Amino acid sequence: GSSLEPEEHSMEPPAAPEEELPLTEASGPAGCQLFGYVGIEAVLDQMKIKTMKMGFEFNIMVVGQSGLGKSTMVNTLFKSKVSRKASQPGQEERIPKTVQLQSVTHVIEEKGVKMKLTVTDTPGFGDQINNENCWDPIIKYINEQYERYLREEILITRKRKIPDTRVHGCVYFVPPTGHWLRPLDLEFMRRLSKIVNVVPVIAKADTLTLEERAEFKQRVRASSREAPGVPRVLPRPQLKPCILQIQADLKTHAISVYPQEDFDLDPDDRALNDRIREKIPFAVVGADQEHQVNGKRVLGRKTKWGIIEVENPAHCEFPLLRDLLIRSHLQDLKDITHNVHYESYRVRRLNESNRP
Amino acid sequence: QNDGYRTLSLSGHVGFGSLPDQLVKKSIKQGFCFNILCIGETGSGKSTLINSLFNTTFDDPVSSHFLPRVQLRAQTYELQEGNVLLKLTIVNTVGFGDQINKEDSYQPIVDYIDAQFEAYLQEELKIRRSLFSYHDTRIHVCLYFISPTGHSLKTLDLLAMKSLDSKVNIIPVIGKADSISKTELQKFKNKIMSELVSNGVQIYQFPTDDETISKINSTMNGHLPFAVVGSTEEVRIGNKMVRARQYPWGIVQVENENHCDFVKLREMLICTNMEDLREQTHARHYELYRRCRLEEMGFRDVGPENKPVSLQETYQAKRHEFYLELQRKEEEIRQQFVQRVREKEAILKEAEQKVHTKYEQHMLMLQEVKMKLEKKRKVLEDEIAMFIEKKANVEVLQSQASVSTPPVSVKKDKDRKKYVRC
């Protein structure tokens, strides 16, 4: 609440003390010095209340071959059974003949903040023998969501709050196969990064470490996803060559993944995002089972040699992914989707409808 | 309000509780925009109140009473408090209520408000637009200053507010309220509110749907219109310097709630409802304007046979209209050009004609002169011929005479000489 009595605040003058400029007819904004507390800051609280009442929407898409742990990852991210696991051990997994998209929406709440979370899964991606154009249904889906929003926005009598089904972030799971990106990965990311925020992650990074360790110099692709694991993900320095290679590949092919350099707002932003960009793609491990470690219950993956603690930054980079997607950049993902990707879709769409 | 979706329970801390903070951080970076329109007669205390509200001195020259019509003067300032940067625009109505004939007093104001909506709409309709960095000039709140007569609203007040209530959030205030006594004030307020209600004027109601602020807002709704006093001077009360007006009989303190409603106004306007004012402007007033304007332009959501009009058709129609307009303009310009060429041609022809005429005249004159000259020459030739003949005769005579009388020759020589010389 705000006080009724004028408070004796020491007014920190703004960084560059603004003088009162003489006003001319066509002057820009003049800076004025406040002589005492006014209460403008209270607008921040007003905003918070408003947004908490409205609630948030967040739409995330996971793309990758079957068996890379996408569903587990989503469940770990949101600490709930958001996606039903693809298969039970022992059961035959049915791989669809074409890429299908399945969206599931839930409402989750934390600290009074309500979030409508939609997760879109893409079973069948990259699973065929011939995977040409397997990204088409995905691109179609993303554009359809933009189209829906556009149609709502263009109505004469439009809703107060336009329902937002646009994909805010697309997490792309790179198989832990080796030291570089495959043509499928490159093609997909190249096309998608133009219309949506793409966050590449190295899936099942615990098996990656085995590759790294055992065949450091050789470039061999992994075949099995249940390779006997080592209890720990390699510390950063040993993962580094692989990450660097991927980063180099992305650069060579001019693929701009999230957070995109072009959209850094100011030097602070740039510095923060540079630190994140150094670490992308994150090497992640997903787990939704709790285990007992040192008297604490932790989320982890049990292997013969020990338990990989998912939320332990020394074990894997899952916390980095979670922090990026949820704790620090969620709003930014939405803003870039709205201000950049949606706008370019709109420009394309409106221009094409004008051709006679 | 789950819209029928399953609610999941979280088995641990996820971290999206920080979302409102993320949003706030972004908004701080972007800065805030707030635009206030002050309507009131000259001398009703508008500028002083604004200075007091924002605790600063906005440079605003005093206006005269003799302006022929109402003008709107907008000035933008940048204020900073803590880490909130506010771009504040104050729009003043200059000359409101000063004219003898006040019929058109509020039209310029309506036009101004519409113009800001129009500018925003134009930006929104552009193909390549930048709404993110658009400087929003739409009026978020209108402070309407009622004269402290103590009786009732003036006709101008009612008419003005009626024409504005569907376009902007109106908060009526009584300016220079220190000229009304406490008992008169309550009666005055009641009278004003009942007149507003009976005339169907929709003033801004402080929102009461959120429980944290509904209580204070509904109380404040009951205090409308706010009786305010502003001051640019400070007076020492106890050991503090406060904004106040010093009279021989006492001191009116601006921020003393027993003296006036200034604090209430500041509280409501800035501390509690600034965000709601902005939202109402965008979600209600602007949408209404947009809807009317688009319908005016000929757009429909539902075409004939009740089928929704497709996006293509909508933009096709607009594009078509635009092209027609372009063509029309082009035709207009072309016509103008042709006209000008014709005119120039006519002028040139005329000039040519003149030159031709002159030439002919000169030719004629030349002819005449030539003829005259011819005549004279003829005359001269005749004379020469005659003279030669005469000379020949005289020589013949002389040769005959010289044989007989020589002494006369001297005279005759002289005569001859004389004669020849003629």
Could you tell me how many residues make up chain B?
A: 422
Token pair 């789950």 in the structure block, residue: B2
pLDDT at A264: 83
b or e along A97-132 (b: 16 or more beta carbons within 10 Å of the residue's beta carbon)? eebebeeebbbbbbeebbbbbbbbbbbbbbbeeebe
Domains of chain A: 44-83+96-121+134-221+239-344 (3.40.50.300)
Q: Is A200 helix (H, G, I), strand (E, B) or coil?
A: strand
Between strands B71-81 and A30-32, the pairing is parallel
Amino acid identity for residue B58 in this structure: F
Q: Does B325 touch chain A (CB under 8 A)?
A: no
pLDDT per position as a tens digit, B198-249: 999 999 999 888 888 888 888 898 898 999 998 888 888 888 888 898 889 8
How far B94 CA sits from the closest chain A CA (Å)?
15
pLDDT at A215: 40
Rounded Cα–Cα distance for residues B141 and B125 (Å): 25
pLDDT per position as a tens digit, A162-178: 999 999 999 999 887 76
pTM: 0.75
pLDDT of A187 higher than 80: yes
A289 vs B419, more confident: A289
Rounded Cα–Cα distance for residues B390 and B401 (Å): 16
Cβ-Cβ contacts under 8 Å, B279 against chain A: 50
- For residue A148, give both structure tokens: 């829906």
Mean pLDDT (chain B) is 86
Residue of A10, A44, A334 for testing the chain B interface, max B β-carbons within 10 Å: A44
Averaged pLDDT, A236-251? 71
Query: For residues B311 and A150, is the Cβ–Cβ distance under 8 A?
Result: yes
Cα-based distances in Å from B330 to B322, B325, B327, B336, B344: 12, 8, 5, 10, 21
pLDDT of A354 higher than 70: no
pLDDT of B377 higher than 50: yes
**Would the ipTM clear 0.90, i.e. be above it?**
no
Between strands A102-110 and A169-174, the pairing is unpaired
Rounded Cα–Cα distance for residues B322 and B298 (Å): 13
pLDDT of B256 higher than 50: yes
CB contact under 8 A, B6 and A44: no
Nearest to B170 by CA among B143, B191, B193: B143
Residue of B80, B281, B310, B322 for testing the chain A interface, max A β-carbons within 10 Å: B80
Amino acid identity for residue B43 in this structure: G
Rounded Cα–Cα distance for residues A265 and B414 (Å): 125
Rounded Cα–Cα distance for residues B84 and B32 (Å): 8
| Domain B24-297 classification at class level | alpha beta
Using the Cα atoms of residue B254, residue B257, residue B263 and residue B268 in order, give the sign of their dihedral: negative
Query: For residues B196 and B161, is the Cβ–Cβ distance under 8 A?
Result: yes
Q: Is A251 helix (H, G, I), strand (E, B) or coil?
A: helix
CB contact under 8 A, B315 and A47: no
Rounded Cα–Cα distance for residues A205 and A318 (Å): 10
Nearest to B299 by CA among B321, B284, B323: B321
pLDDT at A226: 27
Cβ-based neighbour number of residue B384 at 10 Å: 10
Where are chain B's structural domains?
24-297, 314-380
* Helical axes A136-154 vs A342-352, angle rounded to 10°: 80
Q: Among A20, A23, A40, whose Cβ lies nearest the Cβ of B81?
A: A40
Query: For residues A286 and A318, is the Cβ–Cβ distance under 8 A?
Result: yes
Phi first, then psi, for residue A240 (nearest 5°) are: -55, -45
Q: What is the DSSP string of A280-338?
A: PSEE-----EEEEETTEEEEEEEETTEEEETT-TTT-SHHHHHIIIIIISHHHHHHHII
CB contact under 8 A, A330 and B16: yes
